[in-house]
């Protein structure tokens, strides 16, 4: 498996370690919704979406459909899994948010032939 840097939390730039109220004052609710719904990062955040999506594609290409793979990541990084694959992107279009809630998880299944299916997203145990 390639270097797992793409699973690390994004760099929130000037909003790093700030409380949500301070972040909202700086970027506004529309910018936060664009991030949660469409993975469009607010000004000043370092996200590298193309590199993250390419890393997700590389990972998906290596996944064995007969074996389970467990990844632990942040919701900032996880949303790019849904955007990295056309089929997943189409399935994710039915979701209200790309963001995983804190403590939530997603399940992406690799079927025979490599087709990816979004089985769960944003579910909390």
Q: Which domain holds residue 30?
A: 4-123
Q: Count structural domains, the chain.
A: 1
Q: Helices 75-83 and 49-62: crossing angle, nearest 10°?
A: 70
Residue-by-residue DSSP string for 97-116: -SSPPTT-EEEEEE-GGG-E
Question: Is residue 2 predicted with pLDDT exceeding 80?
Answer: no
Alpha carbon distance 42, 80 (integer Å): 15
pLDDT digits over 45-77, tens only? 999 999 999 999 999 998 877 888 899 999 999
Q: What is the pTM of this model?
A: 0.91
């Amino acid at each position: 498996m390639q270097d797992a840097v793409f699973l690390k939390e994004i760099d929130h730039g000037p909003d790093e370690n700030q409380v949500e109220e301070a972040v909202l004052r700086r970027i506004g609710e529309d910018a936060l919704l664009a991030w949660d719904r469409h993975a469009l990062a607010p000004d000043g955040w370092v996200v590298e979406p193309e590199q993250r999506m390419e890393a997700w594609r590389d990972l998906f290409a290596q996944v064995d459909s007969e074996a389970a793979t467990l990844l632990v990541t942040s919701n900032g990084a996880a949303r790019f899994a849904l955007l990295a694959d056309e089929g997943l992107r189409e399935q994710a279009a039915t979701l209200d948010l790309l963001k995983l809630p804190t403590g939530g998880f997603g399940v992406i299944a690799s079927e025979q032939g490599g087709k990816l299916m979004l089985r769960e997203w944003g579910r909390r145990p």
